[in-house]
Amino acid sequence: MEKWVQAFLLHLENKNFSPNTVKSYRADLREFTDYTKKRKVNDLKFFTSAVIRSFLASLPKEDARNTVLRKIAALRSFAAYLMRQGELARNPFKLLPAPKRQKLLPKFLTQEEVERLLGTAANSHLAARDKALFELMYSSGLRRSEITGLKIKDVDFFNGLVKVFGKGSKERLVPVTDEALKALKNYLSCRVNPAPEDALFLNNRGTPLTGDGLAYIFKNTAISAHLARRVTPHSLRHSFATHLLNNGCDLRSLQEMLGHKSLAATQVYTHVSLDKLKSVYQSAHPKNKEN
């Protein structure tokens, strides 16, 4: 089964699936093949609904529902690939119901927490880089892979924009705050002979910053900022979207900036703080206007 898993992953890479998707599918399929090897059912003829059910039942109970759904998606895509290759006679997922996805509200930081995070980043041992990194992420709401994929030439300092290659290699332009542009200029002035084709952000060894490296920076900065909650690169993306909506940004514009394919994906950010709800209610309800 392993050779077909490798062929499938290569197929995904050739189809320009995002590196994060390929990485997740690789881990999920490795977990499945490890399970089948232990039970000596590591042949494609055992890639059946019964074996898949048994594998899913063996997953740790603490696995979140959406994590299980991702594993199912990986196996479902693998099965579809095998059927196209003529290696499977029937779809093992045809009669296998999938649990519904949990609708979790995005975890976001308050504006005060964001300011603490940005201030802490500015005091790190690589202050110029970290200040630019955090300012850019909060001002643009970019994904982790989008940030690490940026080149210096992708920043338009004159127009205040950054060119981003998002999911499916789709290109979009996202506005950037003056504060972020100022921090980026300061950071680049510390670099030795930066060229347009160079990665925008480098690690402490002078090589392009990776997604794992970015997550590590966020973790340590959040600890130094004494934030009570877990902070990830996606936390700033959620905060960016929530704060824009709370301050009057429309959904269509936010959808474009976030790079969402559908408006439904953006609508999850329509949750607002309780204080905001109270403020809107008090200013809009006719009974309140009478007082």
In the CATH scheme, what is the code of domain 2-84? Answer: 1.10.150
* Numbered ranges of CATH 1.10.443.10 in the chain: 111-278
**Check whether domain 111-278 has CATH 3.90.45.10, yes or no:** no
**pLDDT given for residue 25 in this prediction:** 92
Helix axes 211-224, 127-140, angle to 10 degrees: 100
Q: What distances in angstroms separate CA 256 from CA 183, 249, 253, 265, 271, one per listed residue?
A: 24, 12, 5, 11, 19
Q: What distances in angstroms separate CA 141 from CA 129, 138, 271, one per listed residue?
A: 17, 6, 17
What is the DSSP annotation of 161-178?
EEEEE-GGG-EEEEE--H
Quick check: 145 and 20 in contact, CB under 8 A?
yes
Q: What is the Cα–Cα distance from 286 to 275, expressed in whole angstroms?
A: 19
* Numbered ranges of CATH 1.10.150 in the chain: 2-84
Q: pLDDT (tens digit, 9 = 90+) per residue, 154-213? A: 999 999 999 998 776 678 999 999 999 999 999 999 999 999 999 999 999 999 999 999
Low-confidence residues in the chain, pLDDT < 70: 62, 97-106, 168-169, 271-280, 287-291
**pLDDT given for residue 100 in this prediction:** 63
Beta strands in 16-166 (DSSP E): 155-156, 161-165
Q: How far is CA 216 from the centre of its chain?
A: 15
Query: Per this entry, what is the length of the chain?
Result: 291
Whole-model pTM: value is: 0.65
Quick check: 227 and 117 in contact, CB under 8 A?
yes
Of 133, 165, 135, 134, nearest to 149 by C-alpha is 165
**pLDDT given for residue 101 in this prediction:** 59
Q: What is the Cα–Cα distance from 273 to 107, expressed in whole angstroms?
A: 12
Catalytic residues: 143, 167, 234, 237, 260, 269
Q: What is the Cα–Cα distance from 202 to 207, expressed in whole angstroms?
A: 5
**pLDDT given for residue 106 in this prediction:** 62
